[in-house]
Structure 1
Amino acid sequence: MRNLIALFVILFTSQLFSQDVAVLKYKGGGDWYSNPTALPNLVKYCNDNIDTNINENIQTVEVGSTDIYQFPLLHMTGHGNVFFDDDDAENLRNYLISGGFLHIDDNYGMEPYITKELKKVFPNNELREIPKDHAIFSTAFDFPNGLPKIHEHDGKAPKAFGIFHEGRLVLLFTFESDLGDGWEDQEVHNDPDDVREKALKMGANIVKYAFEN
């Protein structure tokens, strides 16, 4: 098993200079496929505004597959249930500690499920709120007040939680913000231009941070 993990790490680190992102598919019945226009729009925004060269043909990868090692950044979203089996959790943990980055965007209703499943991935490492002066809020665009509020949901303040490994932020969980809805085509949610712009700018920060750290 150790030799296999080492091989994955070698294969993954060989991809670190690539600029590709993927949607993470998971078990449990939750709608991992929600917000289908979100990531393509974010990628185009990043390519146009922060000098990235990301493949605009967005792929989907399963959480238990070695394919995740091809992507420096994975995006995960949904409204409902999430389930990681033991192999999924081990694969995701190895991906993250070897240099990968996961952004989980709660599309409303995902929080209780993903919180429980992340304990399988990092049993001894809890989600903790990311301070507003963290670099992820200023890598490309400044958000001095932290995570922007895009959709109301329960009317609570938006929160950015993270998991850190050896001082590096490896996982970002955005809650009560719904960035992905702001990335979608304008006619999907009819968000004002300034709201969509805030969502895309924060998304660009996430992309830039994931690629550079």
Structure 2
Amino acid sequence: MRLILTLFFSLFSIVLFSQEVAILKYKGGGDWYSNPTALPNLVKYCNDNIDTNINENIQTVEAGSIDIFQFPFLHMTGHGNVFFSEDDAENLRNYLMSGGFLHIDDNYGMEPYVTKELKKVFPNKSLIEIPKNHKIFSSAFNFPNGLPKIHEHDGKAPKAYGIFQDERLILLFTFESDLGDGWEDSEVHNDPEEVREKALKMGANIIKYAFEH
């Protein structure tokens, strides 16, 4: 019965014409609340530069709440542990399969926890590296070399991984890039303006792709 109700609400609550975003709150003790200025700054950048009309009052939703179905786009970040209960995993799976989009941005240290917990959400799917010619790298601004490097972390090349349903990218995991730090207020990390601009442009690509697909 719960599944039927969830699917019912998913069909009528994820309004694909709606331009709403939210931060995903998860269990496990990880700092889901990190980068507090990041998503608000990205939303303002998108509204000013790619003709979106996103509500700039950013809300927070929990992974297991039916409220996630109000938002076509969810953003998730942090540094540490992530845990999805079985109800969380089912809720996220229904959300993504019915039109929602989740962007997970590793703020350094999430990767081993995220990859393990995503197996609860999609036991039969795996994260795969997204090719550089994918539309997400050119939906608003052109990134011919793929995901930009914003912060050094371990000095590895930035990677964009995804989970697909048929040909639609439904979940994006950005790793060794740290886009969210580049979206934050300039005084937080003192990144050069050109670095912040790259992060914001790539973020705009993600938003545009999510809303159009």
What TM-score comes out, normalization by structure 2 length? 0.98
Aligned structure 1 segments of 4 or more residues deviating by more than 3 angstroms: none
1:168 paired residue number: 168
CA distance in 2, matches of 1:12, 1:163: 22
Task: Name the structure 1 match of 2:7.
Answer: 6
Any residues of structure 2 matched to 1:170-189 within 5 Å, and which? 170-189=170-189
Q: Distance in 2 between matches of 1:6 and 1:132?
A: 33
Compute the RMSD of aligned alpha carbons. Answer: 0.7
Kindly report which structure 2 residues correspond to 1:30-69, keeping only aligned pairs within 5 A, or say none.
30-69=30-69
The answer on 1:77 being equivalent to 2:93 is no
The equivalent of 1:90 in structure 2 is: 90
Structure 2 alignment gaps of length 5 or more: none
Distance 2:4 2:208 in 1: 31
Distance 2:64 2:166 in 1: 23
Give the superposition deviation at 1:16.
1.6
Shift of the alpha carbon at 1:167? Answer: 1.5
Amino acid in the other structure paired with 2:155: G
The answer for the alignment partner of 2:29 in structure 1 is 29
Quick check: 2:7–2:94 contact (8 Å CA) kept in 1?
A: no
Identity between Structure 1 and Structure 2 (%): 82
Return the alpha-carbon distance in structure 1 between the equivalents of residues 102 and 188 of structure 2: 25
User: In the TM superposition, what whole-angstrom CA distance separates every residue of 1:182-206 from its partner, at most 9, and x where no partner exists?
Assistant: 0000000000000000000000000
- CA displacement at 1:146 relative to structure 2: 0.1
The one-letter amino acid of 1:105's match is: D
For residues 139 and 25 of structure 2, the distance between their equivalents in structure 1, rounded to whole angstroms, comes to 27
Partner of 1:136: 136
What SS class does the counterpart of residue 91 from structure 2 fall into?
Answer: helix
Give 2:80's aligned amino acid: G
The residue that corresponds to 2:199 in the other structure is 199
Aligned partner of 1:138: which letter?
S
Distance 1:6 1:164 in 2: 19
1:122 aligns with 2:122: yes
Query: Residues 11 and 98 of structure 2 are in contact (CA less than 8 Å); yes or no, is this contact kept in structure 1?
Result: no
CA contact (8 A) 2:26 2:82 kept: yes
SS at match of 1:174: strand
Distance 2:30 2:77 in 1: 9
Distance 2:11 2:182 in 1: 36
Q: Distance in 2 between matches of 1:187 and 1:151?
A: 15
Q: Which amino acid aligns with 1:108?
A: Y
Please state whether the residue corresponding to 2:205 is helix, strand or coil.
helix
Task: Give the match's secondary structure for 1:22.
Answer: strand
Structure 1: unaligned runs, 5 residues or longer: none
Alignment-derived partner of residue 155 in structure 1: 155
